[in-house]
Structure 1
Amino acid sequence: KYRTVSYGKILIYSDFVIIASALLVGMGISAVIYGYVMTAVVGYTVDMIMAGSQQSSQVFIVTHDYEKMAQAIVDNVHRGVTLIDSQGWYSKKESKIVMVVCRKRETAMILKFVKTIDPEAFMTVGSVMGVYGKGFQAIGKG
């Protein structure tokens, strides 16, 4: 029900208060520092496990032959592609950027595939959360 709540952060914040109170009952500073480190590791791990199935990548590909690249990704990788109008500032040439949103585990395959089509393509990969629509998470009713 509360998908935007980070369970790891809730765990970290509540445990930080509990561990800080250990100083009031006479625990040593080394035990408190150890507790903080362990809490941070556990909280981060919980967030990674909870969000693992939802992690996706957004790949921007700048290439001269964007039509061939887009068609090849659709045909071989079976992912949707969006073309975004662009203009190189240095060259002043208009072109298109190929954008692909995929699961995190598919990113390496797409990067290798792009390299086989155009070894000089410029690519950026960004991590995105909450991808909704066909092929990803269904849009909630709110």
Structure 2
Amino acid sequence: MIGMKKSSALLEYSVITLGSAMMAFALHFFLEPNTIAPGGVTGLAVVIQKLMGIPMDITNLAINVPLFIAGIMILGKAFGAKTAYATIMLSLFLRLFIIFFGADYTITSDILLAAIYGGVTLGVGIGLVFKMGGTTGGTDLAGAMLNHYIPTLSIAKLMMILDLMIVAFAGMVEKKMETALYSVIALYIVVKLADFIVEDLSYSKAFYIISQKSDIIGKRIIDELDRGVTSINSKGMYTGEEKEMLLCVVSRAQVIKLKKLVYEEDPYAFMMVATIHEVLGEGFKEVDSL
């Protein structure tokens, strides 16, 4: 059991390291050289470096210290440890990129490409850190603290609210509306990708099936797809007819097979298909793996 916990912790911190490296890469090679500030402390750091020449890694650490202390008080020591590690790693990677590539190195000077590729790389990096239960400080830490009190809004969406205010401020400081608009594009991509990574890449599909041959269809799903099926009593409000509705969750690879199976038995079956971002339990993700 102890060995499993150590292995799990090693994996979590390895993923956080990768996420932090991706964030630093996006900031150094795409966003900062083109003065794109996608919100957060990193966005402020971009503006501060342009205005005052203070390196981003120093600004990142300086602003995050009080946020980090507040995070430990509200979210607990375990969350604080991962956040401290991610924040330090982000600053470390930023410093390493400056040392090896120089402060003004950029992959592209096309501001739209920089906003898109920088947003994608930054969003995936933030999502990986979130997935492992940490943050890199700044508005993602502030968002995590707010999520503790407002659980109906995801961390990424709370980040977006805070970041939009910072982007607006950055636009005023730069006195270039164009820069602020490109920053909003990058911010939107970051939030969407971070949410996508956190919600899980391995989404499944839920099928709601209403048919006159529900017993046969249910048995074939169990036998041929090796998936569980739940029968729900339902009643049509227009006809008043009572029928069985089948509920079944399958992987993406089984979607076509299930559709074909149902229509082989009943071409007039009524089906509803919904995307499920996370499924816990037998046949899918085990609860012990969380």
Q: What's the TM-score bracket when you normalise by the shorter of the two chains?
A: 0.7 to 0.9
* Alignment coverage as a number of residue pairs: 141
Match of 1:18 among 166, 176, 183: 166
Distance 1:88 1:10, change over 3 A: closer
Say whether 1:47 aligns with 2:195: yes
Tell me if structure 2 keeps the 8 A contact 1:63–1:121: yes
How far residue 109 of structure 1 moved from its aligned partner, in angstroms, is 3.0
- Aligned partners of 1:49, 1:106: CA distance in 2, in Å? 22
Q: 1:48 is aligned with what amino acid?
A: F
14-23 or 39-48, which deviates more: 14-23
In the alignment, structure 2 segments of 5+ residues that lack a partner are: 1-131, 135-143, 148-153
56-65 or 112-121, which deviates more: 112-121
Say whether 1:74 aligns with 2:222: yes
Structure 1 stretches of 4+ moved >6 Å:
none
What is the match of residue 85 of structure 1? 233
Q: 2:269 is aligned with what amino acid?
A: A
How far residue 135 of structure 1 moved from its aligned partner, in angstroms, is 1.2
Q: 1:65 is aligned with what amino acid?
A: K
What is the match of residue 19 of structure 2? none
Tell me if structure 2 keeps the 8 A contact 1:7–1:46: no
Tell me if structure 2 keeps the 8 A contact 1:84–1:96: yes
27-36 or 129-138, which deviates more: 129-138
- Aligned partners of 1:12, 1:112: CA distance in 2, in Å? 42
Distance 1:28 1:52, change over 3 A: same
1:97-126 residue CA offsets vs partner (Å, 9 max, x unmatched): 011012244333322322222111000112
* Larger-gyration structure (1/2): 2
132-141 or 122-131, which deviates more: 132-141
Q: Higher helix fraction: Structure 1 or Structure 2?
A: 2
Q: 1:58 is aligned with what amino acid?
A: A
The TM-score with structure 1 as length reference comes to 0.80
How far residue 133 of structure 1 moved from its aligned partner, in angstroms, is 1.4
How far residue 19 of structure 1 moved from its aligned partner, in angstroms, is 1.7
Q: 1:38 is aligned with what amino acid?
A: A
What is the match of residue 99 of structure 1? 247
RMSD over aligned CA atoms reads: 2.9
29-38 or 4-13, which deviates more: 4-13
Tell me if structure 2 keeps the 8 A contact 1:8–1:45: no
In the alignment, structure 1 segments of 5+ residues that lack a partner are: none
